[in-house]
A and B are shown apart, each in its own frame.
Chain A
Amino acid sequence: NAGVTQTPKFQVLKTGQSMTLQCAQDMNHEYMSWYRQDPGMGLRLIHYSVGAGITDQGEVPNGYNVSRSTTEDFPLRLLSAAPSQTSVYFCASSNTGTPDTFGSGTRLTVV
């Protein structure tokens, strides 16, 4: 049982490039979410999903897109990377709405 799997673990992008952070879970959880973690800021919610085909914005959605075509996958797309998006990104899932299983994170640097 892999839990929540995030790829890649590390990524360096140039300003203006786009990329997709992958998140997959094998626990049949309905709820999935993306957080970013910056030094001194705590975790902040970017986007979340309550089930396949349903997504909504969190606290800091600008510059990011999501889709949820299957229960298992919840990719996060950076449309045009900016240095302000340098952060550690965590994907989380649960069946109760409260995130209880996190992926190991993706460390993104935008230069």
Chain B
Amino acid sequence: EDKVVQSPLSLVVHEGDTVTLNCSYEVTNFRSLLWYKQEKKAPTFLFMLTSSGIEKKSGRLSSILDKKELFSILNITATQTGDSAVYLCAVPRSGGSNYKLTFGKGTLLTVNP
């Protein structure tokens, strides 16, 4: 059975801190891993990772994939209160297409001023 496990489940930091969010996965025929940010409403797409060791970067956010150890990390540097959200990790299901995703339960990040 496909599995996506995120850790920690929740995290509280102060503005300016750097945080690392973890996502480990078990899926056969791995194709990609996706990160989303969910504030009060809809998830927004952050990154799609397909290759091991290649960092994806967008401003203060970056992510890297380790296909050998079956995990990904999402780093946020110089956190701001606007980074407070649930961060979701997902992988396409075994034997399914890219739109059949298995999601982790998410990490709730709270950034205090």
B100:A48 contact, CB within 8 angstroms: yes
Measured CB to CB, the closest approach of chain A to B68, in angstroms, equals 23
Quick check: is B18 within 8 A (CB to CB) of the other chain? Answer: no
- Contact partners of A102 in chain B: CB under 8 A: 42-44
User: Which chain B residues lie closer than 8 Å to A97 at the CB level?
Assistant: 97-99
Residue from B41, B44, B98, B104 in contact with A42 in the complex, judged by beta carbons closer than 8 Å: B104
Q: A90–B40 Cα gap in the complex (Å)?
A: 13
Interface residues on B, range: 20 to 34
Q: In the assembly, what is the distance between CA of A98 and CA of B91, in Å? A: 10
CB distance from A95 to the nearest CB of B (A): 11
Chain A residue nearest to B31 (CB atoms) is: A98
Chain A interface residue count, Cβ-Cβ cutoff 8 angstroms = 25
Q: For residue B98, which residues in chain A have a CB less than 8 angstroms away from its CB?
A: 96-98
Give the residues in chain A near B97, CB-CB below 8 Å. 50, 97
**Which residues does chain B contribute within 8 Å of A100, judged by CB atoms?**
45
Q: Is residue A25 contacting chain B, with contact meaning CB distance below 8 A? A: no
Bound-state Cα–Cα, A72 to B15, Å: 41
A104, closest chain B residue (CB): B41
Contact B99 A48 (CB under 8 A): yes
Closest 7 CB pairs of A and B: A97-B98, A102-B42, A42-B103, A100-B45, A43-B103, A104-B41, A97-B99
Given A59-B93, A90-B43, 15 other A-B residues pairs in contact with their CB atoms under 8 A = A4-B42, A33-B99, A42-B88, A42-B105, A43-B43, A59-B100, A97-B97, A98-B48, A98-B92, A99-B99, A99-B101, A100-B45, A102-B44, A103-B42, A104-B42
